[in-house]
Chain A
Amino acid sequence: MSGFFDIPSDLQHSYAGLIGLHLREALLPVLAGLLVSLPLAQLCVRFRWLYPPVLGVTTVLYAVPSLAFFVVLIDYTGQTETTVMIPLAVYSLVVLVPAIVDGVRSVPQETLAAATAMGLGPLRRYLQVQLPIAVPAIIAGLRVATVSSISLVSVGMLIGNQGALGNLLNDANIYHRPELAVNSVLTTAVLAILADAVLILVRFLLTPWMPRKGATR
């Protein structure tokens, strides 16, 4: 009855269902953050004066606790998954924009000049030269954003059981089953570590030119 994987029926999800829900609530915002931060970072690289204000605004938003963010959004988006996902997308922006800006800026001038000399236009030069070289920096940002996003979904429990695996924490209290809380924390941590490993693999596949021997960073 009180097994580790016996999920109370009020959650209306199986264990695997909760995992799926958790991944969706955590990863869609990071994807949205990436789609917004790629052009935003490109603008910041192009127009240098734009970077400090963008950083300032995102840093202040980052300091707003996720719970407060959720509560304020309830008025607009209700007690739904969207309410959980919007703040997570904003948080991922804060990590991703500087990572992409630093990555794109780190491309040496000689490389850019060579690409131009080979007849690549600005768009192709960006897509085929700058972006691939920035991949390690972008993935490093994505790793931090993804791991913290997965770990933050749980707080959604407080706004009407929208916390996926975090909802187990509430049930652990209601039904006096501490093992549900252990399950929630461990499963969330394992998901985060697995997502991190997948991103390392993606970087490995996307950067065939990097040295394969020795310590990877």
Chain B
Amino acid sequence: MNVLHFVQAFFSDGAHWHGYDGIPTRVAEHIGYTLEALAVAAAVGLPVGLVTGHTGRGGNVLALIATAGRALPSFGLLVLMFIWIGFGMTAVMIPLVVLAVPPILVTTYEAVRSVDPSPVDAARGMGMSETRVLFQVELPVALPLILGGLLTATVQIVSTATIAAYVSLGGLGRFIIDGLYQRNYEKVVGGATLVAAMALASLAVFWAVSRIAVSPGVRRNG
């Protein structure tokens, strides 16, 4: 009765493949939670990281915010939010966003800071406005690192979104939490396998995005 046996038992059981509690439903819910949390976290982290990275000011404040964000326990935050604001997506989104903002924020800041200053100076010398310097020089060069930060955030969200099941919501955590209470290990292992597979899939997605979005001149160091 090893892990592979559980995996095989879980995926070969037809009952796991359809219905409101089936794998497709749970995968879709999990992807939904992940995208929503990632979108909010990116909307917060990217602009702040870009602007502070460009001006070079506020790095220490960012480091403090990032440490504070990492220090807050996701699971504790989830239970606390559930007690305070009750059942709903907000209670799940707050811990996930708090989890995902620090890697996005810090990596974006570091990425823009580490752009070679000579092309930036050259761009200024050519008369580019600060906005154009940021978006046409610094952002393209920093893009591989920024995507790396987004990837870290995504993998952490995918793995942590399982706790949503603890407060009666869906997603792949359902298999894990239900399996725990039913002493049904094939469900737990099956759910964990799906989560790991989704993390690997996000690796693939980010690899594809970087092939498309990163300019070939920047790519060679990546």
Q: Mark B62-77, 1 if CB is under 8 A from A, else 0.
A: 0000011011111111
A30 to B120, CA, bound (A): 41
Q: List the A side residues contacting B176 at CB < 8 Å.
A: 65, 67-68, 71
Pairwise interchain contact B192-A65, C-beta atoms closer than 8 A: yes
A84 to chain B, nearest CB (A): 12
A150 to B71, CA, bound (A): 8
| Chain A positions 122-167 with a Cβ under 8 Å from a chain B Cβ | 144, 147-148, 150-155, 157-159, 165-166
B129 to chain A, nearest CB (A): 28
CB of B185 within 8 A of chain A?
A: yes
A12 to B20, CA, bound (A): 41
Interface, chain B (partner A; CB < 8 A): 3, 59-60, 67-68, 70-77, 79-80, 83-84, 155, 158-160, 162-163, 166, 173, 176-177, 179-180, 185, 188-189, 191-192, 195-196, 198-200, 203
| Chain A positions 54-89 with a Cβ under 8 Å from a chain B Cβ | 59-60, 62-69, 71-72, 75
Pairwise interchain contact B83-A178, C-beta atoms closer than 8 A: yes
CB of A27 within 8 A of chain B?
A: no
A93 to chain B, nearest CB (A): 15
> How many of A's residues come within 8 Å of B, CB to CB?
42
Pairwise interchain contact A215-B80, C-beta atoms closer than 8 A: no
Pairwise interchain contact A75-B70, C-beta atoms closer than 8 A: no
Q: List the A side residues contacting B163 at CB < 8 Å.
A: 65, 67, 155
A55 to chain B, nearest CB (A): 11
Interface SS of chain A: helix
Pairwise interchain contact B195-A65, C-beta atoms closer than 8 A: yes
Q: A196: nearest residue on chain B (CB-CB)?
A: B67
Pairwise interchain contact A159-B180, C-beta atoms closer than 8 A: yes
Q: Which of B71, B72, B83, B162 is in CB contact (< 8 Å) with A67?
A: B162
B111 to chain A, nearest CB (A): 15
Q: List the B side residues contacting A152 at CB < 8 Å.
A: 73, 75
Pairwise interchain contact A68-B192, C-beta atoms closer than 8 A: yes
Q: List the B side residues contacting A193 at CB < 8 Å.
A: 67-68, 71
Asked, given contacts A72-B192, A172-B83, A182-B80, whether A62 binds B71 with beta carbons under 8 Å apart, the answer is no
Q: List the A side residues contacting B196 at CB < 8 Å.
A: 60, 63-64
Q: A181: nearest residue on chain B (CB-CB)?
A: B80
A124 to B145, CA, bound (A): 35
CB of A37 within 8 A of chain B?
A: no
CB of A169 within 8 A of chain B?
A: yes
Pairwise interchain contact B80-A62, C-beta atoms closer than 8 A: no
Query: Which 5 pairs show the lowest CB-CB distances between chains A and B?
Result: A63-B199, A68-B192, A192-B71, A151-B73, A185-B76
CB of A92 within 8 A of chain B?
A: no
Q: B198: nearest residue on chain A (CB-CB)?
A: A63
Pairwise interchain contact A189-B75, C-beta atoms closer than 8 A: no
A138 to chain B, nearest CB (A): 18
Q: List the B side residues contacting A72 at CB < 8 Å.
A: 3, 185, 188-189, 192
A-B contact pairs, 7 of them (CB 8 A): A60-B200, A65-B160, A67-B163, A68-B162, A178-B84, A181-B80, A188-B71
A158 to B79, CA, bound (A): 12
Q: List the B side residues contacting A158 at CB < 8 Å.
A: 166, 177, 180
A157 to B158, CA, bound (A): 21
